[in-house]
Amino acid sequence: MAKKHIKLVIGIAGLFFLFFFMLLLFFTVILGGNSLPFGDKVAVVEIEGIITESNSINKQIKEYGERDDVKVIVVRIDSPGGGVGPSQEVYRELKKVSAKKKVVASMGSVAASGGYYIAAAANKIVANPGTITGSIGVIMEFANAEELLKKIGFKGYVIKSGEYKDIGSPFRGMKDEEKKLIQDVIDDVYKQFVDVVAENRRLDINAVKKYADGRIFSGTQAKNIGLVDELGNFNDAIDIAASMVGIKGKPVVIYPEKRGMGLWELIFGNTANQLFERLRGNYGLLYIFPYGINR
């Protein structure tokens, strides 16, 4: 008798499980289109605005790289670039993932300088015909307020441990030897950028240098000189990514969880955030197209 009760309980539990599973499947298909919780997936990593940090982006890349159900990663880039360090860190993480999974870069309105540096890590780059890209180069900006400070009677004092410790100080002009020191650093970091483009795009380094003078290109122009593989929008990039790994039909696309919107963003929006990031990131080496910030 007890065995019959156990079998009955197991049978009822099984029916309930099957019912809820079918209910979940029904609502997933009806409400979520093709976003089923199983099967091969295309994962999207979004890089937007000025690149000031890499941790959150690299966390997503690493997570997708470790998931067996994620077969290909699409990096959606809508950025004029940013700090050299963060750009290089994201690039390196993508290169590590691309050793085991395909990576496709999809360029939005702007994918320039550091944005292009990151895109270079992809197996394939897709841009809109009118995407602003390129701007291969390095920039470091300083302000000299010496004359202004004299007019208002303001004096600044610097106590330093070495000759070059206050290099770029706004209290005085820059000496020729200091300019050379900064230029040497710029040239070295610039060479790193050119080498990355030449290696990943399989281009002769002299051919890259010809266009690596900070100039920008449209997506069409970039394709003509080998900086971009194909022209297309984000959906095209998704389809290309799916076909590269043999996913049939409409691919299942997943995105990282969105963080909550802070009070600053709620009141002032993304423009104010970009301005703040721009000001904060001004004191350092930048892979950035500075006039592509306000879009």
Q: Rounded to an integer, what distance in angstroms lies between the CA atom of residue 228 and that of residue 243?
A: 18
- Kindly name the residue from 79, 106, 113, 169 that is annotated as catalytic: 113
Residue 113, by phi and psi: left (phi above 0), alpha (psi -120 to 50) or beta?
left
Residue 258, by phi and psi: left (phi above 0), alpha (psi -120 to 50) or beta?
beta
How deeply is 235 buried, as exposed, middle or buried, from its count of CB atoms within 10 A (0-12, 13-18, 19+)?
A: exposed
The HSE-up count of residue 247 (CA atoms within 13 Å, CB side) is 22
Q: Rounded to an integer, what distance in angstroms lies between the CA atom of residue 103 and that of residue 58?
A: 14
- Kindly name the residue from 59, 165, 175, 250 that is annotated as catalytic: 165
Residue 243 designated active-site? no
CA 113-183-54 angle, to 5 degrees, is: 35
Residue 165 designated active-site? yes
Q: Please answer whether residues 238 and 42 qualify as being in contact, where contact means their C-beta atoms are separated by less than 8 angstroms.
A: yes
Q: Which residues are catalytic?
A: 113, 165
